[in-house]
């Protein structure tokens, strides 16, 4: 065996190496082995030493095992095993390999001892950390920089849930799961990558189903997590891994939310307190003001800058010692309360007004729960109204006292148990005794006059025995012997069912008595006065009770005793009458009301004047105006007649004017012609001309004759105002007219249609009705439209009790706009018709109007004309 | 005296037309008298000859009371037509009415040369010539 070569090889091993022969004798070792041997065993092995020595030196407990393994190696086996040496144990991995010579005969064994302790330690560490991480109470997940899930711990598995791909070792990329975008996880990891630094964030990651106990309700409860992401950097400064830590903070979060909620609630409560709330810091700066206080500031005009407002330095606050109060609260740490009166000027609609405000200020210190600062809260209550009420009350009390003085009312009380009588100052005054002189019941009674004393004694006894209250008008003689009329009032006071006290007042009513006397006398005078006037006078209250009635009124009502009774009960027919309404009106308006009222039973008219009185009663003045009323009615009747006469006269006058007009126009024209003819005839000598003029004379005279005849006919109509009337049938009269006009009707072929059903007859002068019908029918024939069959439709009907006759033709019509005003005029014609003389309609109208009726026309050219005749009601 | 050339007599009374014409002829006032019974016809004549001075009259004697179109309506219509006429026509109202209200009403038409009442006299006719 080449020992030199072996030694070199052995020496080259980094581990400790030793060689021993088949007889278990140490051959050689390398330097590492020697060093280790010395370090761990304290001995040095020399060549030829038995291997037992090695075992003995280091670990006798390993001898058996070592011997066994050595023997196996000597037998030609290659093996490796581990041993632990020393305390604390150091682990070595021992490898044994047989060494052969050139003849393949085993000569020795090489033993390589490798210290595996650091390796073991490292492995142990890793396992430990892994188990720690695995069992951490927070979720932990490892990602590749691009988001692929790499590893995950138990908590994280629970958080993600057993169905999550990452939990089931399936490929899962955190960036590709949309849910993470919502939860903010993506953003978190993204930021970690960007900043290469840890990032922390609160997230609502999921909801938990929670079953309500005993109820069939499942609630979804939000689960909040705090997510922390951090990068693990690689050797080259790139991100090697991303870690995500999730820790559940739901409870913390919910607590925080509920805190916020209650804070908000508190804020709202404070904000809406009906009491002013100001929160100061310990330097006197305002931190918070609620709306009541803001309103108050606004009212007082102090709102300029409430934030910058500092109470300690504010001159206004100093003026009212607010800052002193504040300092006291701060220093003594006690609640303080004070009423303050503030007066200031305020702007009101351009003007200044002094305002007075009472404030109830309560200040107390509070420690800020967060930063432990001392703060001061001021509650400000505007008690101006209350204060004013108090002042009012004080005033009222004062007033009451004064009333006692002026009303001359004194008080008294009698104690049943002690038998003591006490008087108030005013009572002494009434009795004209020096105040607070001793007084007894007997002495008090002695002031009353003989008769009054009896009454008072009885009343007092009755009150004591039976608890009967009293109110007596009595007389007493004062200490100075003045006779007074007083009103003595007493009442019992019970305690435990027993009368313990009598008390009451005594009022000096002497003056009232005098006044009442005077009043009674005045009333009597008034009665006398009212009885003598020739006018009914009564006073009644608002309900109708008669308080006073004078003789005249008594006569008018003519009904036993009325006074003291209700007028509406005595005379039920007045209930709801005009009288009643007027009474109410008078009460309501508080103003005098006058009206006339008719009493049907005696057939009399009365004029009433109702006047409200200050005491709520009503004075009633009444007067019989039957005569004047009747006269008035007569007068009105006469007036009516006069006015109808007047109307008649006006009508006559108009007709006369018409007549004058007719005369001036229609008679003058032919006369003028005559005059002219006379002139030209006189100026000529020619017989021939004279012959011509003669014929013209005849023509003119014939003309005059005709006109005169027309006029006579008209005058006749006007004269015949009282022409005889009779009941006439329209149908019958029309038939008569048709007979007269037989030829015209036949030649024109006019169709006459009638409808007299509604009003078949009328009381009317026969010749007028005939003339009317004839004129209408003649016109229809005369002014018929060429080319169509003429027709005329007569119809009679009743309208407001009057007979109305309409006559409608289908003739050529009249231009109403142009001729409407002249349609019924004398000698007015509107057609180039030789027969038109302009007299028919004039006569028709005259006749109708003479009988009190009227005629109108409606017409359209080319359509026809409709005449409407309204006869005067019968 | 210069004779009037053309006179229109507007009157529905044929006797009056005749008498007036005789009187005008006698006094040689005119050698051209035209008689109209209907004012409407006069108006139409004037309308068709607004620019024909020879066809227009120098004087119109107008009656007031006439059927169809009366003197008043004619005056209203004429007052509108007058500015278009190439000749100044003298209009005289010649009526039997001595009613003052008629006279006042005529005065409202300031172009009317005179209010004459029937019957015409020679004196009045002579004045027309001036």
Topology of the domain covering B7-129? Rossmann fold (3.40.50)
Over range A42-59, report the average pLDDT. Answer: 74
Over range A122-144, report the average pLDDT. Answer: 82
Q: Which residue of A has its CA nearest to B38?
A: A832
- Give one DSSP letter per residue of A533-599, joined into a string: SSSEEEEE-TTSBEEEE-HHHHHHHT-S--TTSBHHHHSGGGTTSHHHHHHHHHHHHTS-EEEEEEE
Measured in angstroms, the CA of A782 and the nearest CA of chain B are apart by: 16
Over range A825-837, report the average pLDDT. Answer: 62
Residue A436 pLDDT level (bands cut at 50, 70, 90): confident
* A321 backbone dihedrals φ, ψ, rounded to 5°: 60, 25
Domain boundary among A650, A684, A714: A714
pLDDT higher than threshold 60 for residue A310: yes
Inter-chain contact A676–B99, Cβ cutoff 8 Å?
A: no
Inter-chain contact B19–A829, Cβ cutoff 8 Å?
A: no
CA distance A71 to A96: 10
Q: Return the percentage of chain A with pLDDT > 70, whole number.
A: 89
Number of H helices, E strands in chain A: 28, 32
Asked if residues A812 and A819 have their Cβ atoms less than 8 Å apart, the reply is no
Say if B118 is an interface residue toward chain A (CB within 8 Å): yes
Over range A30-38, report the average pLDDT. Answer: 80
State the pairing for strand pair B33-36/A218-233: unpaired
Over range A358-376, report the average pLDDT. Answer: 77
CATH code at A319? Answer: 3.30.450.20
CA distance A739 to A736: 5
Check whether residue A37 and residue A106 sit in a common domain: yes
pLDDT at A352: 63
Mean of the per-residue pLDDT values of chain A: 81
CA distance A342 to A832: 105
- The beta-carbon contacts of B103-111 under 8 Å, at least 24 apart in sequence, are B105/B72, B106/B75, B109/B75, B109/B79, B111/B78, B111/B79, B111/B82
The residues, any chain, with a CB within 8 Å of residue A504's CB and separated by 6 or more, are A411, A412, A413, A470, A488, A489, A490, A491
Of the residues B23, B38, B63, B67, the best mutation for testing chain A's interface (the one with the most A CB atoms within 10 Å of its CB) is B67
Say if A696 is an interface residue toward chain B (CB within 8 Å): yes
* B12 backbone dihedrals φ, ψ, rounded to 5°: -85, -5
pLDDT at B1: 41
State the pairing for strand pair B112-117/B90-95: parallel
* A797 backbone dihedrals φ, ψ, rounded to 5°: -150, 175
Over range A215-242, report the average pLDDT. Answer: 82
Of residues A830 and A513, which shows the higher confidence score? Answer: A513
CA distance A439 to A433: 10
Inter-chain contact A831–B67, Cβ cutoff 8 Å?
A: yes
**What are the tens digits of pLDDT across the range A681-695?**
888 888 888 888 888
Check whether residue A764 and residue A850 sit in a common domain: yes
Radius of gyration (Cα) for chain A, nearest Å? Answer: 69
Measured in angstroms, the CA of B53 and the nearest CA of chain A are apart by: 30
Say if B127 is an interface residue toward chain A (CB within 8 Å): no
**Residue B118 host element (H or E):** none
Over range A48-62, report the average pLDDT. Answer: 73
| Range among A387-401, A722-736, A834-848 rated most confident | A722-736
Check whether residue A167 and residue A218 sit in a common domain: yes
Nearest to A699 among B15, B117, B122 (CB): B15
- Chain B environment of A666 (Cβ under 8 Å): 65
Nearest to A664 among B19, B97, B119 (CB): B97
**What angle, rounded to 10 degrees, do the helices at A668-682 and B14-26 form?**
30
Say if A672 is an interface residue toward chain B (CB within 8 Å): yes
Q: Is residue A113 domain-resident?
A: yes
Q: Which residue of A has its CA nearest to B24?
A: A680
Check whether residue A618 and residue A650 sit in a common domain: no
- Chain B environment of A827 (Cβ under 8 Å): 65
- Chain A environment of B28 (Cβ under 8 Å): none
Over range A807-827, report the average pLDDT. Answer: 81
Radius of gyration (Cα) for chain B, nearest Å? Answer: 14
Residue B75 pLDDT level (bands cut at 50, 70, 90): very high
Check whether residue A333 and residue A419 sit in a common domain: no
Say if B5 is an interface residue toward chain A (CB within 8 Å): no
End-to-end CA distance of chain A: 179
Q: Is residue A240 domain-resident?
A: yes
Look at residues A483, A485, A476, A480 and name the one whose alpha carbon lies nearest to residue A432.
A480
Measured in angstroms, the CA of B96 and the nearest CA of chain A are apart by: 5
Helices (H), A59-178: 63-74, 117-134, 154-160
pLDDT higher than threshold 90 for residue A591: no
Domain boundary among A508, A543, A561: A508
Q: How many domains does chain A have?
A: 7
CA distance A377 to A279: 4
**What are the tens digits of pLDDT across the range A323-350?**
777 778 878 878 888 877 777 665 555 5
pLDDT higher than threshold 60 for residue A353: yes
CA distance A213 to A567: 80
The domain ranges of chain B are: 7-129
Say if A676 is an interface residue toward chain B (CB within 8 Å): yes
Q: Which residue of A has its CA nearest to B18?
A: A696
Residue A614 pLDDT level (bands cut at 50, 70, 90): confident
Tally Cβ neighbours within 10 Å of residue A829. Answer: 20
Check whether residue A741 and residue A858 sit in a common domain: yes
Inter-chain contact B96–A827, Cβ cutoff 8 Å?
A: no
Measured in angstroms, the CA of B5 and the nearest CA of chain A are apart by: 22
Inter-chain contact B96–A675, Cβ cutoff 8 Å?
A: no
Nearest to A669 among B23, B68, B96 (CB): B96
Over range A822-830, report the average pLDDT. Answer: 69
| Domain span holding position A373 | 272-346+358-384
Inter-chain contact A696–B15, Cβ cutoff 8 Å?
A: yes
Over range A386-411, report the average pLDDT. Answer: 71
Q: Residue A810's Cα: distance from chain center in Å?
A: 69
CATH code at A684? Answer: 1.10.287
Measured in angstroms, the CA of A838 and the nearest CA of chain B are apart by: 9
CA distance A310 to A720: 112
pLDDT at A806: 94
CA distance A97 to A79: 7
Check whether residue A743 and residue A732 sit in a common domain: yes
Inter-chain contact B15–A703, Cβ cutoff 8 Å?
A: yes
Of the residues B118, B121, B124, the best mutation for testing chain A's interface (the one with the most A CB atoms within 10 Å of its CB) is B118
Calculate the alpha carbon distances from A715 to A384, A619, A635, A829 in Å. 98, 66, 35, 21
pLDDT at A404: 63
Of the residues A659, A662, A665, A839, the best mutation for testing chain B's interface (the one with the most B CB atoms within 10 Å of its CB) is A665
Sign of the Cα pseudo-torsion (B1, B3, B9, B15, in order): positive
pLDDT higher than threshold 90 for residue A125: no
- Chain B environment of A669 (Cβ under 8 Å): 13, 16, 65, 96, 118
- Chain B environment of A830 (Cβ under 8 Å): 67-68
Residue A22 pLDDT level (bands cut at 50, 70, 90): confident
Task: Please report the ipTM that was assigned to this predicted complex.
Answer: 0.83
Measured in angstroms, the CA of A843 and the nearest CA of chain B are apart by: 18
Check whether residue A763 and residue A850 sit in a common domain: yes
Nearest to A664 among B16, B99, B120 (CB): B99
Check whether residue A150 and residue A220 sit in a common domain: yes
Inter-chain contact A676–B23, Cβ cutoff 8 Å?
A: yes
Inter-chain contact B118–A680, Cβ cutoff 8 Å?
A: no
Q: How many CB pairs under 8 A join A and B?
A: 70
Say if A688 is an interface residue toward chain B (CB within 8 Å): no
Say if B1 is an interface residue toward chain A (CB within 8 Å): no
pLDDT at A303: 46
Over range A832-848, report the average pLDDT. Answer: 72
**CB-based burial label for A424 (10 Å; 0-12, 13-18, 19+):** middle
| Range among A216-220, B74-78, B119-123 rated most confident | B74-78
Inter-chain contact A676–B120, Cβ cutoff 8 Å?
A: yes
**What are the tens digits of pLDDT across the range A64-114?**
788 888 888 888 888 888 888 777 778 888 888 888 877 888 888 888 888
CA distance A303 to A643: 81
Check whether residue A732 and residue A844 sit in a common domain: yes
CA distance A95 to A115: 11
- Chain B environment of A686 (Cβ under 8 Å): none
pLDDT higher than threshold 50 for residue A51: yes
Of residues A214 and A24, which shows the higher confidence score? Answer: A24
CA distance A318 to A364: 18
**What angle, rounded to 10 degrees, do the helices at A840-850 and A687-719 form?**
20
**What are the tens digits of pLDDT across the range A242-280?**
888 888 888 888 788 887 888 787 778 877 777 778 877
54-113 in chain B: CB under 8 A from chain A: 65, 67-68, 73, 96-99
Inter-chain contact B19–A831, Cβ cutoff 8 Å?
A: no
- Chain A environment of B61 (Cβ under 8 Å): none
pLDDT at A511: 79
Asked if residues A150 and A144 have their Cβ atoms less than 8 Å apart, the reply is yes
Over range B18-43, report the average pLDDT. Answer: 86
Which of A3-17, A396-410, B62-76, B83-97 has the least mean pLDDT? Answer: A396-410
Asked if residues A593 and A586 have their Cβ atoms less than 8 Å apart, the reply is yes
- Chain A environment of B119 (Cβ under 8 Å): 672-673, 675-676, 679
Inter-chain contact A680–B22, Cβ cutoff 8 Å?
A: yes
pLDDT higher than threshold 90 for residue A730: yes
pLDDT higher than threshold 50 for residue A638: yes
Residue A301 pLDDT level (bands cut at 50, 70, 90): low
Residue A412 pLDDT level (bands cut at 50, 70, 90): confident
pLDDT higher than threshold 50 for residue A304: no
Check whether residue A117 and residue A172 sit in a common domain: no
CA distance A26 to A37: 13
- Chain A environment of B20 (Cβ under 8 Å): 676
Measured in angstroms, the CA of B70 and the nearest CA of chain A are apart by: 10
Check whether residue A426 and residue A565 sit in a common domain: no
Inter-chain contact A700–B120, Cβ cutoff 8 Å?
A: no
pLDDT at A170: 82
pLDDT at A345: 63
Helices (H), A741-867: 742-748, 766-782, 816-819, 840-850
Q: Which residue of B has its CA nearest to A661?
A: B99
Say if B44 is an interface residue toward chain A (CB within 8 Å): no
Asked if residues A322 and A359 have their Cβ atoms less than 8 Å apart, the reply is no
Could you give the 3-state DSSP secondary structure of residue A809? strand
Inter-chain contact A680–B67, Cβ cutoff 8 Å?
A: no
């Amino acid at each position: 065996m080449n020992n030199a070569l072996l030694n070199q090889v052995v020496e080259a091993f980094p581990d400790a190496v030793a060689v021993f022969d088949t007889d278990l004798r140490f051959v050689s070792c390398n330097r590492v082995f020697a060093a280790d041997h010395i370090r761990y065993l304290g001995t040095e092995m020399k060549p030829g030493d038995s291997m037992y020595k090695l075992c003995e030196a280091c670990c006798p407990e390993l001898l058996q095992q070592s011997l066994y393994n050595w023997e196996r190696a000597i037998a030609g086996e290659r093996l490796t095993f581990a041993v632990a040496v020393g305390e604390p144990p150091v682990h070595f991995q021992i490898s044994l390999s047989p060494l052969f010579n050139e003849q393949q005969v085993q000569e020795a064994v090489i033993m390589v001892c490798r210290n595996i302790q650091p390796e073991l330690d490292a492995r142990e560490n890793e396992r430990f950390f892994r188990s720690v991480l695995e069992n951490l109470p927070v979720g932990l997940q490892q990602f590749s920089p691009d988001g692929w899930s790499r590893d995950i711990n138990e908590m994280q598995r629970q958080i993600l849930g057993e169905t999550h791909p990452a939990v089931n070792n399936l490929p899962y990329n955190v960036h590709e799961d949309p849910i993470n975008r919502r939860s903010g996880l993506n953003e978190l990891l993204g930021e970690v990558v960007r900043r290469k630094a840890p990032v922390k964030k609160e997230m609502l990651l999921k909801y938990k189903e929670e079953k309500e106990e005993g109820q069939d309700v499942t609630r979804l409860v939000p689960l909040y997590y705090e997510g922390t992401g951090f990068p693990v950097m690689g050797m080259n400064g790139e991100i090697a891994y991303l870690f995500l830590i999730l820790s559940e903070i739901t409870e913390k979060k919910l607590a925080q939310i509920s805190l916020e909620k209650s804070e908000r609630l508190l804020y709202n409560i404070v904000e809406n307190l009906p009491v002013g709330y100001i929160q100061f810091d310990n330097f006197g700066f305002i931190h918070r003001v609620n709306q009541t206080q803001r309103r108050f500031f606004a009212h007082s005009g102090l709102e300029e800058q409430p934030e910058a407002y500092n109470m300690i330095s504010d001159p206004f606050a100093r003026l009212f010692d607010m800052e002193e109060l504040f300092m006291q609260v701060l220093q003594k740490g006690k609640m303080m309360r004070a009423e303050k009166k503030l007066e200031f000027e305020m702007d009101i609609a351009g003007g200044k007004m002094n305002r007075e405000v009472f404030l109830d200020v309560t200040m107390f210190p509070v420690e800020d729960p967060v930063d432990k600062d001392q703060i001061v809260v001021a509650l400000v209550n505007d008690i101006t109204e209350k204060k004013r009420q108090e002042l009012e009350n004080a005033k009222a009390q004062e007033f009451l006292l004064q009333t006692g003085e002026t009303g001359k009312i004194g008080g008294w009380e009698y104690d049943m148990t002690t038998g003591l009588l006490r008087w108030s100052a005013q009572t002494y005054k009434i009795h004209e005794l020096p105040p607070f002189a001793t007084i007894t019941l007997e002495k008090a009674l002695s002031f009353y006059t003989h008769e009054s004393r009896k009454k008072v004694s009885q009343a007092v006894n009755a009150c004591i025995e039976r608890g009967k209250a009293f109110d007596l008008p009595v007389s007493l003689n004062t200490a100075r012997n003045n006779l007074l009329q007083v009103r003595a009032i007493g009442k019992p006071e019970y305690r435990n069912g027993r009368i313990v006290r009598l008390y009451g007042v005594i009022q000096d009513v002497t003056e009232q008595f005098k006044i009442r006397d005077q009043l009674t006398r005045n009333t009597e005078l008034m009665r006398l006065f009212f009885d003598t006037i020739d006018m009914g006078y009564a006073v009644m209250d608002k309900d109708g009770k008669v308080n006073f009635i004078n003789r005249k009124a008594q006569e008018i009502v003519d009904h036993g005793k009325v006074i003291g009774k209700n007028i509406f009960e005595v005379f039920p027919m007045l209930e709801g009458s005009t009288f009643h309404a007027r009474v109410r009106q008078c009460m309501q308006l508080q103003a005098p009301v006058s009206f006339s009222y008719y009493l049907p039973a005696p057939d009399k008219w009365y004029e009433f004047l109702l006047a409200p009185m200050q005491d709520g009663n009503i004075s009633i003045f009444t007067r019989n105006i039957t005569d004047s009323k009747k006269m008035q009615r007569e007068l009105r009747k006469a007036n009516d007649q006069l006015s109808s006469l007047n109307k008649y006269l006006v009508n006559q006058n108009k007709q006369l004017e018409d007549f004058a007009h007719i005369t001036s126009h229609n008679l003058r024209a032919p006369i003028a012609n005559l005059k002219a003819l006379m002139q030209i005839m006189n100026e000529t000598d020619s017989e021939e001309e004279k012959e011509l003029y003669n014929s013209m004379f005849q023509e003119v005279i014939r003309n005059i004759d005709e006109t005169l005849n027309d006029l006579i006919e008209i005058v006749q109509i006007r004269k015949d105002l009282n022409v005889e009337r009779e009941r006439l049938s329209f149908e019958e009269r029309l038939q008569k007219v048709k007979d007269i006009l037989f030829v015209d009707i036949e030649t024109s072929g006019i169709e006459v249609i009638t409808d007299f059903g509604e009003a078949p007859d009328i009381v009317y002068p026969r010749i007028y009705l005939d003339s009317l019908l004839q004129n209408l029918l003649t016109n229809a024939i005369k002014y018929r439209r060429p080319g169509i069959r003429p027709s005329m439709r007569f119809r009679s009907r009743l309208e407001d009790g009057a007979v109305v006759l309409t006559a409608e033709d289908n003739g050529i019509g009249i231009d109403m706009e142009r001729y409407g005003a002249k349609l019924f005029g004398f000698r007015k014609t509107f057609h180039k018709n030789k027969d038109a003389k302009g007299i028919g309609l004039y006569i028709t109208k005259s006749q109708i109007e003479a009988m009190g009726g009227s005629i109108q026309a409606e017409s359209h050219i080319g359509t026809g004309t409709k005449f409407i005749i309204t006869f005067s009601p019968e | 005296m210069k004779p009037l050339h053309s006179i229109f007599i507007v009157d529905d009374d044929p006797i009056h037309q005749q008498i007036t014409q005789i009187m005008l002829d006698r006094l040689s006032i005119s050698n051209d008298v035209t008689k109209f019974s209907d004012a409407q016809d006069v108006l139409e004549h004037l309308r068709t000859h607004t620019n024909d001075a020879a066809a227009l009259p120098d004087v119109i004697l107008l009656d007031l009371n006439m059927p169809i179109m009366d003197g008043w309506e004619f005056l209203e219509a004429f007052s509108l037509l007058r500015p278009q006429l190439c000749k100044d026509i003298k209009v005289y109202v010649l009526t039997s009415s001595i009613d003052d209200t008629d006279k006042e009403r005529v005065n409202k038409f300031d172009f009317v040369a005179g209010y004459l009442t029937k019957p015409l006299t020679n004196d009045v006719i002579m004045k027309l010539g001036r």
